[in-house]
């Protein structure tokens, strides 16, 4: 059985916190604890150990929820001030209640760990939130609230992502003044959640202009005669996937298009990569790609096979991909 040492886990987590906040968290909390402890007037009212432990926990909590922190520093500042006012007031009321009529100073001296931990919580949480918000802002991650909301709701909420997405297209001939394509579409899909989810293995096309020749799930052939798989805009085959499961899908589709037309090859879900390859067996037809992506991929040409291949391997968001255009020569 593989084992992982506590020191390695601590180092790895510390590296993540250092990357997020710009310096080592133990160093921050230790320096603050030493400085505060050096003031003679705080002797008996401050515990460096309690401060450090709570500070590290607060930095870790903010790191875990960093995506929920606004990317605008001014907004975060107002939220932090509200947090300090609310919890400062609650703390004052709570300490007075616990003191039970005794002077607050005497009560704090007798409960130095609790008092120190509470002030560490207020101070460290506020600083960590402000640092996180500032880093988001200066690194250009600030978007209008509607876009931030769309990213959270439409991207982070998706249960699946794809790998090795590939469209192999063959222009095989002309039928009834229509260009015939045979497309092999394959990919791997991952259920990234911690529970069972249903994946719709689908392909969209005009049913009067195409048909499904073959479909496979994890290399097992699917019976295409099942009427439940027919949808108004193509084919949809529900597949139950367990938490963390990775499966492969494959379609072979025959379609007819106009002699001058275009088709978009993309993915509704995020994907690690996408490849579109077109092989032309029809004289007088020319193909070219338009890229729906912020990269500039190169197009590989194979003159012997009369084919072109374009690959996007730097990650794709929903609906990024390739437009394949064709026209008569």
| Cα–Cα distance measured from residue 210 to residue 44, given in angstroms and rounded to the nearest whole number | 82
Percent residues over pLDDT 90 in the chain: 47
Contact (Cβ atoms closer than 8 angstroms) between residue 52 and residue 30: yes
DSSP per-residue string spanning 211-259: EEEEEEETTEE--TT-GGGEETTEEEEEEEE-TT-EEEEEEEEEEEE-S
Q: In what order do the strands lie in the sheet with 210-217?
A: 220-221, 210-217, 246-257, 178-191, 160-175, 274-280, 307-312, 299-302
Total-model pTM: 0.64
Residue-level pLDDT at 58: 87
The more confident residue out of 156 and 14 is: 156
Per DSSP, the chain holds a count of helices (H) and strands (E) of 7, 14
Averaged pLDDT, 243-259: 96
Could you give all domains of the chain from N- to C-terminal order, each with its CATH number? 6-154 (no CATH), 158-328 (2.60.40.3680)
Rounded Cα distance, 37 and 114, in Å: 16
pLDDT digits (tens, 9 = 90+) for 255-307: 999 999 999 999 999 999 999 999 999 988 999 999 999 888 888 999 888 99
The answer to whether 71 and 143 are in contact (CB under 8 A) is yes
Q: pLDDT, tens digit, for every residue of 162-216?
A: 999 999 999 998 988 899 999 999 999 999 999 999 999 999 998 889 999 999 9
**Nearest of 143, 125, 142 to residue 134 by alpha carbon:** 142
- At 304-327, the pLDDT tens digits run 889 999 999 999 999 999 999 999
d(CA 69, CA 152) in angstroms, rounded, equals: 12
Residue at token pair 């001939």? 173
Strand positions, DSSP E, 64-223: 160-175, 178-191, 197-204, 210-217, 220-221
If you ran DSSP here, which 8-state letter would residue 297 be given? Answer: P
Average pLDDT, the chain: 84
The greatest distance separating any two alpha carbons of the chain, rounded to the nearest whole angstrom, comes to: 96
β-bridge partners, 75 = none
């Amino acid at each position: 059985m593989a084992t992982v040492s506590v020191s390695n886990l601590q180092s790895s987590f510390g590296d993540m916190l250092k990357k997020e906040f710009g310096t080592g968290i133990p160093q921050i909390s230790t320096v603050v604890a030493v400085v505060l402890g050096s003031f003679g007037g705080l002797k008996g009212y401050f515990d460096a150990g309690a401060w450090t432990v709570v500070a590290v926990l607060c930095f870790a909590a903010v790191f875990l929820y960093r995506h929920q922190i606004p990317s605008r520093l001014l907004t975060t500042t107002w939220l932090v001030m509200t947090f300090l006012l609310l919890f400062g007031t609650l703390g004052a009321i709570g300490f007075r209640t616990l003191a039970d009529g005794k002077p607050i100073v005497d009560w704090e001296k007798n409960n130095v760990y609790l008092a120190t931990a509470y002030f560490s919580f207020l101070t460290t949480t506020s600083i960590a939130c402000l640092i996180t918000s500032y880093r988001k802002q200066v690194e250009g991650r600030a978007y209008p609230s509607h876009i931030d909301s769309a990213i959270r709701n439409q991207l982070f909420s998706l249960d699946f992502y794809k790998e090795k997405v590939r469209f192999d297209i063959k222009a095989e001939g002309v039928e009834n003044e229509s260009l015939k394509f045979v497309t092999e579409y394959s990919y791997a899909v991952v259920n990234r959640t911690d529970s069972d989810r249903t994946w719709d293995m689908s392909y969209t096309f005009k049913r009067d202009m195409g048909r499904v020749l073959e479909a496979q799930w994890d290399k097992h052939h699917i019976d295409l005669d099942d009427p439940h798989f027919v949808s108004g805009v193509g084919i949809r085959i529900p597949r139950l996937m367990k938490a963390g499961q990775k499966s492969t899908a494959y379609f072979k589709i025959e379609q007819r298009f106009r002699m001058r037309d275009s088709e978009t090859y993309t993915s509704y879900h995020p994907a690690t990569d996408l490849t579109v390859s077109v092989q032309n067996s029809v004289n007088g037809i020319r193909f070219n790609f338009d890229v729906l992506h912020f990269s500039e991929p190169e197009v590989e040409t194979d003159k012997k096979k009369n084919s072109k291949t374009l690959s996007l391997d730097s990650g794709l968001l929903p609906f990024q991909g390739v437009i394949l255009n064709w026209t008569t020569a």
